[in-house]
Structure 1
């Protein structure tokens, strides 16, 4: 049986993929959410287990997708609505550093997408 976090993520992913088709940035919500999907197990575990290799690959992919300010802001708009659906949203910003990825913006539930540069 699927966890409630996975069900919420799937619903949000579907909704955001539809909305994202109107975005000006080259990054899409479907691409962003596909990158972070392998991290769900880590996040549902509270971020205390080692980050799975597939999650680190997703963090690297997200980093490649967010090279410009519009792309970073678009990725932020895709990610922000789902962050609080995880049992420990504070674990989200730990992923990139644990994977050795230097994202150009910090992913937190309180991030302001309009101020990301």
Structure 2
């Protein structure tokens, strides 16, 4: 329970800091991370993806309409992935498919967001 509380605080701090400083056209890092908050269980442990998680993923994808949006979302995801202590790359990369959406890059701490179109 303590590790989940700590993780929630890390996500919240990232949302506040990144939301204030990194606004992309139409979507902020705070919105990206807030939409992904219901996905933390899956990102850590795998298993079933919740409806709330998939709704958040779909919201991110539908709001990232331009190249700048997609690059901004990618950068937000990299920051979030780096802040999550037990980030599981395999689960993160499986998440879009489990929610029935396509993201044109890998969700990873090493993704080159500038290459996204």
- With the shorter chain as reference, the TM-score category is 0.7 to 0.9
Deviation string 1:53-99 (CA, Å, 9 cap, x unpaired) is 11111110111121111111111111102324334222101011011
Q: Where does structure 2 lack aligned partners over 5 or more consecutive residues?
A: none
Asked if the contact 1:35/1:62 (under 8 Å) is kept, the reply is: yes
Higher helix share: 2
The equivalent of 2:20 in structure 1 is 21
Q: Which is further off, 98-107 or 12-21?
A: 12-21
Matched, 1:101 2:93: no
Shift of 1:24: 5.5
Q: CA RMSD in A?
A: 2.1
Q: After TM superposition, give the deviation of residue 16 of structure 1 in Å.
A: 4.8
Give the TM-score normalised by structure 2.
Answer: 0.81
Which consecutive residues of structure 1, in runs of 5 or more, have no partner in the other structure? none
Residue 21 of structure 1, CA deviation: 3.0
Matched residues, number = 114
